[in-house]
Amino acid sequence: MDHQTVCCRSFLPRAREAWLLCGGADALHREPMTPSPDLPGLFTWTGALADCPLHPTILWSEGGGQTFQAVDPYSFPPHISGFDLHLFGEGRHWHAHRMMGAHPEVRDGIPGVRFAVWAPGAERVSVVGDFNHWDGRSHPMSVHGGSGVWELFIPGLPDGALYKFEIRNRESGQIFVKSDPYGAFFEMRPNTSSRVFASRGYEWSDDAWLQRRSAPNAWKHRPMSIYEVHLGSWKRGVAGRFLGYRELADELIPYVRDRGFTHIELLPVTEHPFDGSWGYQSTGFFAPTSRFGTPDDFRHLVDSAHRAGIGVLLDWVPGHFPKDAFALARFDGTALYEHEDPRKGEHRDWGTLIFNYGRSEVRNFLLSSALCWIEDFHIDGLRVDAVASMLYLDYSRQANDWIPNEYGGNENLDAIAFLRELNRTIQGNHPGVLMIAEESTAWPGVSRPPETGGLGFTMKWNMGWMHDTLAYFQLDPIHRRHHHNQLTFGMLYAYTENFVLPFSHDEVVHGKRTLRGRMPGDESQQHAQLRLLYAYQWTYPGKKLLFMGQEFGQGTEWSEDRELDWYILQYPLHQGMTTLVRDLNHLYRNEPTLHAAEFEPEGFAWLDCDDASRSVLSFLRRGGDSQMIVVLNLTPVPREDYAIPAPHGGLWTVRLNTDSEFYGGGSRGSLQARAEARPLRGFTHTLRLDLPPLAALILAPG
């Protein structure tokens, strides 16, 4: 064939007739394409090069009188650069999500969608969807050499088009149909297809917030009170309908601001197929769940929070993923994202698979997921779930069910290296963004820099403090004298990490009851002890976290299937509880004494931690030039004329009494007292106070 002619072929498996649209823009005409006698669906046109556009349009009929047309996708060359592929193969492509997945774009004036997927074990990968009858013969992709990255640009796809990848394994010939690992949007469960999402270019209005956030290490000395939320069950609409992201922006954000919280922490909104997993078994690591709206709707929720002065944290789960056949598990017929050996690649307890952190492309996947939420959705921090399960090769395993590392130890060296890289990358590029570890063991240096041997997180949940505290409070007060050390022991390690004090969703499910339900006694005593517990949490060194519903004394265990028990707010004790939480938050935020030195030993001193016989604790909080005294009476016995040490003389006034009638108490106890110059327990002065039963007093000078 000479250079003046060209041959155009198109494979249209359902077509009966096909035509090529030829000629210039002013003189377009249809030229019939010749069907192949040997391969049904293959059509060919041969003609003058001048008559064939650079990007030919094919028309075809499938019978019934209807005609379809599309621009030939194979007239567009591959777009992904060699440099991108090099970074991806080395595990240094921080923004792999901008290369992989489905991206609406315009090529040579023609709108379409560029698809890319990593499937090195495949001999064929096709894009299938509602636009091609889910037929893998229609849109096979091309592979970039040995990278395992497949790519195809398909012109003319509409926003919202459903798609998956059909993958034929090279060795077995098996065919798998998978959702997009890098998908930006998904169908509403139980359907599992990915959706093309063409953002309209969301216009953020939170520049001032981001600028304030970016001050390095400012979070250490700022108050941080976190309201943990499961969006699907905080509040529901008519007939149990989910509230959308935009509705939640209108209702949740003002509520959180009114209660005085500084941040919300969302249980995972990464797309997930099963409501009962609460989002912790994610299949869409780059996509806000479609249960509540579009990705831009989610941006609006975050933006609204920032405009209201509320930070947004996201629970993020790089420790494991579910075995669902439509998602990551054996993605191309091989153990691609997971380990082949189940002794390294499977969580026995959870029935999930463990990421292979030693594989460059998997590290890319997770690292770019984290950066996507921070950069594309303006998330202020990630709470990394189940870090302990990542650190230990023998986590929750029998003795013969794990493989030691190369040195014979039980540490997962690849996971450790990944976590350090993750924290270095995020904090190095986004100062002020928080990385919080849910880590339940005594692993040293979780919130210390990698260069000193730490993991590099900014903070860690204090699970030991939480367990000891709740174990103590659920005791009958008559027995508490024998367990006094459960409240004092935590101070021995309080400054080994930067701690968050969590009363999270995990403490109010699976038969554990609510926080109020754990307290002994009648309803009035339960409320009194819950108020006491919150005063202890808010005045103890460390950032604060409280799961939704506990701020008003939720009566029943949390369930993802229903909204919170909002109706109980009509009752005075519950009204008092939410008033107390609001007042504690405002006191904590407004008084540097309570937040300026939460991670430094100079911010705290015991006044008397030894009175186990009467179950009374007293301590001093310091911040800047100011001081506050906190006294906890942990029994239902009033303590009159009770002596505690004081750091100096003068008048001390009660700033908050959890027994106040405003909170549902009896308004007992001292209002103020003058410290006398009588040494006590190493301090120069003594205060004598009347302590109300099951209550806390917070005092300040003056």
Is residue 101 within 8 Å of residue 149, measured between CB atoms?
Answer: no
Decide if 185 is inside a domain: yes
**Residues with Cβ < 8 Å from 128, sequence gap 6 or more?**
134, 135, 136, 138, 139, 163, 164, 165, 166, 177
Distance of alpha carbon 65 from alpha carbon 49, whole angstroms = 30
Nearest in space to 490 (alpha carbons), one of 430, 541, 529, 559: 541
| Domain annotation covers residue 51 | yes
Of residues 83 and 23, more confidence is placed in 83
Phi/psi at 502 (5° precision): -105, 130
Pick from 25, 43, 75: which residue ends a domain? Answer: 75
Helix 572-590 / helix 245-259 crossing angle, nearest 10 deg: 80
How big is the CA angle at 541 (ends 537 and 543), to the nearest 5 degrees?
70
Nearest-10 crossing angle of helices 463-473, 523-539: 150
Residue 3: pLDDT band (50, 70, 90) is low
Domain presence at residue 144: yes
Q: Which of 195, 227, 245 marks a domain boundary?
A: 195
Within 10 angstroms of residue 449's Cβ, the number of other Cβ atoms is 15
Catalytic residue among 380, 385, 468, 497: 385
Compute CA distances 654 → 312, 374, 537, 667, whole Å. 33, 42, 18, 12
Phi, psi angle pair for 372, to nearest 5°: -60, -45
Determine the pLDDT at residue 1. Answer: 44
User: How confident is the model at residue 25, as a pLDDT?
Assistant: 61
- For residues 27 and 197, the model is more confident at 197
Out of 35, 56, 75, pick the residue that ends a domain: 75
- For the chain, what is the domain count? 3
| Domain span at 13 | 5-75
Taking only the tens place, the pLDDT of each residue in 636-695 is: 999 999 999 999 999 999 999 999 999 999 999 999 999 999 999 999 999 999 999 999
Task: Judge whether 560 counts as a catalytic residue.
Answer: no
**Are both 69 and 86 inside the same structural domain?**
no
Backbone angles phi, psi at 312, to 5 degrees: -125, 120
More confident residue, 260 or 21: 260
What is the Cα Rg of the chain in Å? Answer: 31
Helices (H), 63-171: 82-90
* Predicted local confidence at residue 349, as pLDDT: 87
Q: Which residues pair with 58 in a beta bridge?
A: 20, 70
Whether residue 572 is preceded by a cis peptide bond, meaning omega within 30 degrees of 0, is no
Helix H or strand E segment including 367: helix 360-371
Q: Which two tokens stand for residue 64?
A: 């019934």
pLDDT tens, position by position, 45-72:
998 887 788 899 999 998 877 889 999 9
Type of residue at 342: P
The reply to whether 117 and 22 lie within a common domain is no
For residue 13, which amino acid is it?
Answer: P
Q: For residue 366, give both structure tokens.
A: 């997770």
Alpha helices in 481-571 (DSSP H): 485-488, 515-518, 523-539
* Angle, helices 523-539/572-590, rounded to nearest 10 degrees: 10
pTM: 0.94
What span, in angstroms and rounded, lies between the C-alpha atoms of 175 and 134? 13
pLDDT over 90 at 434, yes or no = yes
Is the residue at 17 inside a domain? yes
* Terminal Cα-to-Cα distance of the chain (whole angstroms): 99
Quick check: 591 and 623 in contact, CB under 8 A?
yes
Three-state DSSP at 670 gives coil
Question: How far is it between the farthest Cα atoms of the chain?
Answer: 109
Q: What are phi and psi of 461, to 5 degrees?
A: -65, 135
CA dihedral for 334, 340, 342, 345, sign (positive or negative): negative
Are 37 and 133 part of one and the same domain?
no
Q: Is there a single domain that holds both residue 163 and residue 125?
A: yes
Residue 638's alpha-carbon distances to 8, 21, 248, 523, 694, in angstroms, are 93, 92, 44, 19, 8
The count of other CB atoms within 10 Å of the CB of residue 662 is 12
Percentage of residues of the chain with pLDDT beyond 90: 91
Catalytic residue, chosen from 438, 468, 551, 659, is 438
pLDDT band at 235, cuts 50/70/90? very high
| Confidence label for 200 from pLDDT (cuts 50, 70 and 90) | confident
Q: Which amino acid is at 390?
A: M
Active site residue 166: no
Are residues 62 and 119 located together in one domain of the fold? no
Check whether residue 140 and residue 163 sit in a common domain: yes
> Cβ distance 688 to 523 under 8 Å?
no
What DSSP line would sit under 280-347, residue for residue?
SS-SEEEEE-GGG--HHHHHHHHHHHHHTT-EEEEEE--S-EE--TTTTTTTTSS-SSB-SSHHHHEE
pLDDT tens by residue, 252-266: 999 999 999 999 999
In a domain, 488, yes or no: no
Q: Per the domain annotation, does 62 fall within a domain?
A: yes
CATH assignment of the domain containing 16: 2.60.40.10
Match 């999270």 to its residue by tokens.
Answer: 504
Residue 416 clears pLDDT 80, i.e. is over it: yes
One domain for residues 25 and 121: no
For residues 395 and 383, give the distance between their C-alpha atoms in angstroms, rounded to a whole number: 20
User: Residue 68 domain-assigned?
Assistant: yes
Residues 623 and 651 in one domain: yes
Q: Is residue 54 part of a domain?
A: yes
Q: Is the same domain home to 63 and 94?
A: no
CATH number of the domain to which 636 belongs: 2.60.40.1180
How many whole angstroms separate alpha carbon 103 and alpha carbon 106?
Answer: 10
CB 166 within 8 A of CB 139: no
Contact 286, 188 (CB under 8 A): no
Do 58 and 96 share a structural domain?
no
Whether 609 and 680 map to the same domain: the answer is yes
**What confidence tens digit (pLDDT) does each residue in 550-584 have?**
999 999 999 999 999 999 999 999 999 999 999 99
Distant-in-sequence, close-in-space partners of 36: CB < 8 Å, separation ≥ 6: 42, 43, 44
User: What is the residue-averaged pLDDT of the chain?
Assistant: 95
Q: Does 10 share its domain with 107?
A: no
CA distance 213 to 1: 65
pLDDT tens digits, residue range 604-630?
999 999 999 999 999 999 987 889 999
Residues linked to residue 7 through DSSP beta bridges, in sequence order = 46
